Chains A and B, each alone.
Chain A
């Protein structure tokens, strides 16, 4: 087996055992409950305050009048983003805090294999969280046609990889700044606010729309909704998907290169 996969496998197993022993249900339950509430809150506003009326501008930009399905799809993707960023983004800073980073950096193990291992470990869990949130959304009235399930599966894998690329950059920022909460919560806020999770990006001021295009999740989420709500095909959205892929690769490359650059400084900063 190639070193990158050997490292990834070892990290996956290690993280799985630690997660199962440390907090078998709590983190999973917390994220699912949080996401369910994040659906319920706008849905209740939609039903009881706006009386199921949506503005024309929303219909125009979202290409749908079905706000409920729109928000359920957005929040379902958001839970994948949160799960991936929490696991992959925080993996290195957690090793630093627990004092276990030295032995990893001492070894010749593949660094990208380490991140991949963290990603794989949380993948199934985030899929389960995604499915649960989607099911709750359907129960509340979201309309997801059964024939769209294969395309949803494809998109979920794609968006999970997009989030992985973002997580590498976030991990490096966390390691560099030695901060978890400000970095992580700023990214969560950016994803919620400018990536089109709750409302179309076009509703934002122009300057924020430009910034939103720097996030690979924005175009991926737009393509996802186009395919599920707008009855478009993958081919119709190839530009959005290609753009998202390119930005993701840029995130990955910058994050990984800077991590390798900081690697030795990291140990120095711990010892000084």
Chain B
């Protein structure tokens, strides 16, 4: 199990107005008193807006940066004092296209990264074949990465993160930039290896549905602090003062959609003219008002769906967090 206790991270930033000015030192607290557990066989989510402290937390847990204070234990290894021991059993998968060598092929990249983890030639071959097959890159394994699409590069990142068969995997927005089919396959794979291969997973994502589907436990982080934690259902129950509504109309009426969008107390709204649908999160139950509006415009409602949305809960959590900050 990974146990992080009372993690703090304060960055020292040197600021210079001009090259001839003296540096001004500023301190920025990126993470404040974070404690979390990541058990084997479980997927733990770390959710928060940009700049909340997710990446700093994940970099500390993956031993890439040292915490200013606090402890991290990875299977009884003190990862702050002995990061090289911990590095052998962890890996990090980040979103985006960097972090791999574009001039090398996928196989050459994996051979290189596998060697950095001390894998022998035979182990490497087996592991590379396995990782490439998981991300569906076997056929393109010998093409230089610079010729890959964005999604293929992201899939290679995932293969790279699995090359040392880590006991704990940190996934920093792993589905960023990959298509929905691949993202779905990847989610299924994450679920499968977590259970079947008993791996501990920490996932950060902007896709709330992804966290809702995958995570056994979720930490919500804001301004460097954990503002809430629990299972997805716990969070939904705790913070369901918001309403999540889905309407499908029999036609698209621009004026109707505009009027609905102008209603008060809407936190977030998604209009889809092609599907004649509206999805919204609001502070009050707007069903009556929307039915009234649709009848004014003589537009029938085919379907109304209400749901406990993790997204709605998350927005509520962050709103509460910000008001306390």
| Chain A contact residues, CB within 8 Å of chain B | 1, 3, 6-7, 9-11, 13-14, 17-18, 21-22, 98-100, 102-109, 264, 267-268, 271-272
Which of chain A's residues have a CB closer than 8 A to the CB of B222? none
Question: Would A107 and B56 count as touching, CB distance under 8 A?
Answer: no
B11 contacts the other chain (CB 8 A): yes
Question: Would B99 and A103 count as touching, CB distance under 8 A?
Answer: yes
| Chain B contact residues, CB within 8 Å of chain A | 11, 13, 28, 55-56, 59, 62-66, 84-85, 87-88, 91-92, 94, 98-101, 103-104, 108, 111-113, 115-118, 120, 144, 160, 164
Dominant secondary structure at the A interface:
helix
Q: Within the assembled complex, what's the spacing in Å between the Cα atoms of A103 and B110?
A: 12
Q: How far is the CB of A269 from chain B (nearest CB, A)?
A: 9
Q: Within the assembled complex, what's the spacing in Å between the Cα atoms of A10 and B109?
A: 10
Which of chain B's residues have a CB closer than 8 A to the CB of A109? 115-118
Question: Would A107 and B116 count as touching, CB distance under 8 A?
Answer: yes
Given contacts A7-B115, A17-B104, A18-B101, contact A106 B65 (CB under 8 A): no
Which of chain B's residues have a CB closer than 8 A to the CB of A14? 101, 104, 108, 112
Q: Within the assembled complex, what's the spacing in Å between the Cα atoms of A185 and B88?
A: 38
Pick from B88, B99, B118: contact of A99, CB under 8 Å = B99
Question: Would B116 and A10 count as touching, CB distance under 8 A?
Answer: yes
Q: List 10 A-B contacts (CB under 8 A).
A: A3-B118, A6-B118, A10-B115, A14-B112, A18-B101, A102-B92, A102-B99, A106-B64, A264-B65, A267-B59
Closest residue on chain A to residue B56 by CB atoms: A271
Which of chain A's residues have a CB closer than 8 A to the CB of B103? 17-18, 21-22
Question: Would A103 and B160 count as touching, CB distance under 8 A?
Answer: yes
Known: A7-B115, A11-B112, A109-B117. 19 other contacts (CB 8 A): A6-B115, A7-B116, A10-B112, A10-B115, A17-B103, A18-B103, A22-B103, A100-B100, A102-B94, A103-B113, A105-B64, A108-B84, A108-B85, A108-B88, A108-B116, A108-B117, A109-B116, A268-B11, A271-B56
Q: Within the assembled complex, what's the spacing in Å between the Cα atoms of A153 and B142?
A: 39
